Amino acid sequence: MKLWRGGRVATLAGDAGWGLIDDGALLVDDHGLLRWVGPSAEAPPADEVVDLQGALVTPGLVDCHTHLVYGGNRANEFEQRLHGASYADIAKAGGGIKSTVAATRGASEADLLAGARTRARALMAEGVTTLEVKSGYGLDADTEARMLRVARQLGSLGLDVKTTYLAAHAMPPEFSDADTYVAAVCAWLPGLHAAGLVDAVDAFCEHIAFSPAQVSRVFDAARALGLPVKLHAEQLSDQGGAELAARYRALSCDHLEFLGPDGVRAMAQAGTVAVLLPGAFYALRETQLPPVTALREAGVPIAIATDHNPGSSPTLSPLLMLNMACVLFRLTPEEALRGLTVHGARALGLRDRGQLVPGQRADFCLWDGGHPRELAACFGHNPLKARVFKGRIQGGA
Ligand SMILES: [Zn+2]
């Protein structure tokens, strides 16, 4: 048993509030689980004691939506958008996701791993302890498998990685008919699942991607294997994707700028998490805001994530997402931090992390600061002192 004492602990216990303990302590067992959390003065005895030296302590960050594994980059499209092209224009002209597919197919597993490791380390340097990574730049059986294998290997860096199969992301050039491609997407899934490479299944439901009817075929294939689903929904238009996903009791619907009242209701009833992605909203200079007030009033848990990808959200800063969620989407700093911790975990179907309470994993961050709202108020600055993963300190301090 190890006791970490003398920190300002934001437990995020319960459904609301920071759960602040001014001079707080955490007792961690040999399995990397929290056994006790409370005031230092009341702490139980331990074999080893670590002085937190007044550090601010929060749960480790959960980045629940990334496309971290890919070849190439798309800075050229950043320039094109500045010259007036829209994300949809670029996609229709063969850019966007398709250009990353070409670069990813041409990259070796070692090259993909090297790039992804660098990016994962950048996320970890800002406190990420759990990371979701999607496939979806292969769009063929071999490359999708390669992406998922690379994602799994990131776990050796000292963070927990969840992998999501997103072959229904875009149409590959060798297919002309979307229904035929969707049948292939469904046919590849059992083999990848049998290889232990898939934790969840995702799709892109949009007029530039796949229709609700096509997405439902992918979801049926997931359901047949007992895999949970997620959906890129209502990013550019209201396709009724959230309602469809809710019918499959999706873990999350992500983006949601064009989500309507029926979608909000369906998500609330299904317990589906709304994952908001302010980095993509910002980079694409979107003006349609996700319906935060309606989500809040309906009691839909709100998560936020980096959506790291080479085109529409090339950020590696979860802390910047905290700030953008507040400034752009009007989340409170507490909602934003819950979005990157406990609700991010829920968007991955994980109930064992995201709050600093007994029984949860001892994944936490030590920050230089006096109050957790400072993490959201500040931007372009990283106050992380150290990251603790499964009870073990990693880097910094
Ligand atoms: Zn995405």
Distance in angstroms (rounded) separating the CA atoms of residues 200 and 220: 13
Q: What is the pLDDT of residue 87?
A: 78
Distance in angstroms (rounded) separating the CA atoms of residues 68 and 287: 26
Distance in angstroms (rounded) separating the CA atoms of residues 205 and 192: 22
Quick one: average pLDDT of 41-65? 97
pLDDT digits (tens, 9 = 90+) for 303-324: 999 999 999 899 999 999 999 9
Q: What is the pLDDT of residue 395?
A: 62
DSSP letters, 306-338, are ----SSS-----HHHHHHHHHHHH---HHHHHH
Distance 231 CA to ligand 1 centre (A): 9
pLDDT digits (tens, 9 = 90+) for 338-390: 999 999 999 999 999 999 999 999 999 999 999 999 999 999 999 999 999 99
Distance 130 CA to ligand 1 centre (A): 17
Query: Could you identify the residue written with the tokens 């197919």?
Result: 105
Distance 306 CA to ligand 1 centre (A): 9
Distance 83 CA to ligand 1 centre (A): 24
pLDDT digits (tens, 9 = 90+) for 223-236: 999 999 999 999 99
Distance 362 CA to ligand 1 centre (A): 28
Distance 202 CA to ligand 1 centre (A): 9
Q: How far is CA 31 from CA 2, 151, 359, 361, 362, in A?
A: 11, 24, 11, 9, 9
Residue 396 pLDDT more than 70? no
Distance 80 CA to ligand 1 centre (A): 20
Distance in angstroms (rounded) separating the CA atoms of residues 252 and 246: 9
Distance 65 CA to ligand 1 centre (A): 6
pLDDT digits (tens, 9 = 90+) for 264-288: 999 999 999 999 999 999 998 899 9
Distance 397 CA to ligand 1 centre (A): 33
Distance 380 CA to ligand 1 centre (A): 23
Distance 81 CA to ligand 1 centre (A): 19
pLDDT digits (tens, 9 = 90+) for 142-155: 999 999 999 999 99
Distance 396 CA to ligand 1 centre (A): 30
Distance 174 CA to ligand 1 centre (A): 23
Q: How far is CA 378 from CA 269, 321, 326, 354, 383, in A?
A: 35, 11, 11, 21, 9
Distance 162 CA to ligand 1 centre (A): 14
Distance 25 CA to ligand 1 centre (A): 37
First-last CA distance in the chain:
21
Distance 214 CA to ligand 1 centre (A): 18
Distance 258 CA to ligand 1 centre (A): 15
Distance 102 CA to ligand 1 centre (A): 18
Distance 134 CA to ligand 1 centre (A): 8
Q: What is the pLDDT of residue 88?
A: 82
Q: What is the DSSP letter of 44?
A: P
Distance 242 CA to ligand 1 centre (A): 15
Distance 232 CA to ligand 1 centre (A): 6
Distance 49 CA to ligand 1 centre (A): 42
Residue 89 pLDDT more than 90? no
217: alpha, beta or left, given left = phi > 0 and alpha = psi -120 to 50?
Answer: alpha
For residue 200, the cross-strand partners are 164
Distance 29 CA to ligand 1 centre (A): 36
Distance 14 CA to ligand 1 centre (A): 29
Distance 203 CA to ligand 1 centre (A): 9
Q: What is the pLDDT of residue 301?
A: 98
Average confidence score pLDDT of the chain: 96
Residue 397 pLDDT more than 70? no
Per-residue tokens: 291: 């319906």
Distance 384 CA to ligand 1 centre (A): 26
Quick one: average pLDDT of 48-61? 97
Distance 313 CA to ligand 1 centre (A): 9
Residue 61 pLDDT more than 70? yes
pLDDT digits (tens, 9 = 90+) for 90-102: 888 878 888 999 9
Distance 139 CA to ligand 1 centre (A): 15
Q: Is 120 exposed, middle or buried (0-12, 13-18, 19+ CB in 10 A)?
A: buried
Secondary structure of the chain: what % helix, strand, coil (to 5)? 35, 20, 40
